[in-house]
Amino acid sequence: MKKHAIIPIFIPHRGCPNDCVFCNQKAITARQANVTPADVRRIIETYLPTLTGRGLETIETAFFGGSFTGIPMEEQSAFLAVAREYKRKGLIHKIHMSTRPDYINEAILDNLREYEADIIELGVQSFDPAVLEASNRGHSVEDVYRACDLIKDYGFELGIQLMIGLPGDSLESCLYSARETVRMAPSIARLYPTIVLNDTELCAMYRRGEYTPLTTDEAVDITKEMYRIIAAAGIRIIRVGLKSTDLINDSDSDQNQTVGHTYHPAFRQLVEGQIAREELEAQLLELLGSYEDENAADGTRRVSFFSNGNSFSNMIGNARRNKEYFVQKYPEIRIAFQRDDSLGDMVFIAKAD
């Protein structure tokens, strides 16, 4: 059962002075109505009846949109006051927001503490200074370390968002970012492959031949290695890849149209499915290496793969690709895919029958 639920509230950063190459928020927010504290109340009231009584451990109100702490302090306070009211009534449990590393300082954190905020997610994107520069993030990697330390010193929960495949990025710099994320010890992380959206500087770079988007397969390969590093440190990875609804919040235009082939609606399952395949194949090869053919009297070796129910679809793979992979690559082995709910999430076991 899902233990956590988020009530997402999109607060556009109107007048954002930055020009991140991948961003189309400015074009979108220019056409959006202002969000008011009354809207925050309405959104919470709309979500709450759908969430209560479902045995959820935590319900969070989360202010997304990139740079919550970049908006004027009195506006932050007005939004937070509504969320705090629901938290004090016990109807929500945590207040959560995302922001940029250079919009964190003592005054901002004092205010967030005053309004009983809990989780601050930083859009770090990369720990590689060259990638931050090439993506025109407008802040340094020192800003990232300073913000992470300050957030933790204040006792807030830290979240880190990373992007994969930004200009100047490589497998090595992505792995470095994953390792630095572990060193910063956030409690949650998100991994977003870079998507080229229409009418962004990144799209112009792509059309000028200055930027090549990752293919879906390349993005999966890099993201799975980052996922392994971060998950092994016990950090909860709450999102891998954009949801389709992240791309269609501006239905009046083609602004959200993607260019290239990085986007996949089931990106997380591709990543987790690939991890499942590699872990099972390594165990399978070990089993085959030590296989005495006593259970192959009929010439068919039998092996069972196990996962719990939550991870079963990852074991089978998106569009059954893992199942087909094993059938085609190991036609001499009869493989059964079985459920074992005594296993943890993302634990995959191969056993000879």
- What residues make contact with ligand SF4 under the rule CB under 6 A? 13, 16, 18-20, 23, 25, 66-67, 100
Minimum CB distance to ligand SF4, residue 160 (Å): 15
d(CA 210, CA 275): 32
* Closer of 87 and 137 to ligand SF4 (Cβ): 137
The per-residue DSSP string of 318-352 comes to: GGGHHHHHHHHH-TTEEEEEEE-TTSPTT--EEEE
* Residue 25 token pair: 């928020």
Strands 188-193 and 157-164, by their bridges, are parallel
The helix (H) or strand (E) run that includes residue 109 is helix 106-114
10/330 with CB nearer ligand SF4 = 10
- Shortest distance, position 100 Cβ to ligand SF4, whole Å: 5
Strand order in the sheet with 349-352: 333-339, 301-307, 349-352
Nearer to ligand SF4, 66 or 317 (CB): 66
C-alpha distances out from residue 314 to 94, 169, 304, 323, 336, Å: 30, 28, 15, 10, 15
Query: Shortest Cβ distance from residue 22 to ligand SF4 (Å)?
Result: 7
Q: Which is nearer to ligand SF4, 100 or 277 (CB)?
A: 100
* Two structure tokens written together for 243: 């949801």
How far apart CA 212 and CA 111 sit, in angstroms, is: 42
75 or 85: whose CB is closer to ligand SF4? 75
Q: How far is the CB of 190 from ligand SF4 (least distance, A)?
A: 14
Shortest gap between Cβ of 79 and ligand SF4 (angstroms)?
17
25 vs 274, which CB is nearer to ligand SF4? 25
Exposed/middle/buried for residue 87 (C-beta within 10 Å: 0-12, 13-18, 19+) = buried
Smallest distance, ligand SF4 to C-beta of residue 260, A: 19
